Amino acid sequence: MSELYPLADQALVAFAIIGVFISWKNPIAIWFFISYLMVISIDLTFSSISFEWKVHYYIFQAILNVAFIIPIVYRRNLALFLYHKTDASFFRQAYEKQTLTSQECMILLIFLGAAVVNIFTWLEVLAYKHYWIDNAYIKLYFRNNIIMLIQLVLCVCFIAYAMQSKSRDCNYEATK
């Protein structure tokens, strides 16, 4: 089972890239996936370093889970900022057309759940380190499986977001 964990970590990158190709003509979806690829690259860059921290690895992962929420919450404002700096029509379209979707709400909930799991694991590891508890059950038996399940659900959400991007673009054009 432990062989699947690195594969699940890399799956987010693959599914984000697949999402870019599926939704190639929709600037909102492209901006969504580019934003996520930036955060995923930060996560993958620091994962080997943070894994060596042992105890504080889990709080770092919780912070990264919150960082994954940033592309959903601030993506529109960032697109406006980049439009003013670059005057690129891509960022103007991303700003004007971007709305919160059900897939984005699901991704928000998933990352909040992952942050909660990582915070509880961090607290449990701290308690174990200071001999307040005898066994770290969440860390040993649940956390990795829950995080892998969360990553697989995120992959499904990425594909669902990409598949729905065409209809969202048509709906935007019809209501404009």
Interatomic CA distance for residues 12 and 40, integer angstroms: 8
pLDDT at 170: 58
CA distance 36 to 12: 9
Residue 175 lies in a domain: no
Give the total number of structural domains in the chain: 1
Is residue 149 included in any domain, yes or no? yes
User: Model's pTM, two decimal places?
Assistant: 0.83
Task: Tell me, yes or no, whether 173 lies in a domain.
Answer: no
Over its C-alpha atoms, the chain yields an Rg (Å, rounded) of: 18
Helix H or strand E segment including 158:
helix 143-175
In a domain, 106, yes or no: yes
Question: Could you tell me the two tokens for 111?
Answer: 């990352």
Residue written as token pair 């992959």: 155
Regions of the chain with pLDDT less than 70: 1-2, 168-176
Please tell me the predicted confidence (pLDDT) of residue 50: 87
